[in-house]
Amino acid sequence: MSTVKPSKINRLLKLQPSGVVLISSWLVEQGYSPELLRKYRNSNWLTSIGTGAMIRENNQLVY
């Protein structure tokens, strides 16, 4: 039995479909600190599209 715990970014990228807007307040409720979200943006995992809204890097919004 494996006890390896997936990283938070891997879990987030796996659970959220491509093109979905991620709201920072919801992410904080899910355990992602503002500092961690800033790290994800600086590392190009997430792209800010406005105040409190992000999408996965290199994704387009689904309308």
Residue ranges per structural domain of the chain: 8-56
Taking only the tens place, the pLDDT of each residue in 2-60 is 565 668 988 988 888 888 899 999 999 999 999 999 999 999 999 999 999 999 887 77
Comparison of pLDDT for 1 and 47, the residue scoring more: 47
Which among 20, 23, 30 has a CA at the least distance from the CA of 52?
23
The per-residue pLDDT for 62 is 64
Confidence (pTM): 0.78
Helix (H, G, I), strand (E, B) or coil at 33: coil
Name the token pair of 55: 């999408």
- CA dist., res. 49 & res. 10, Å (int): 21
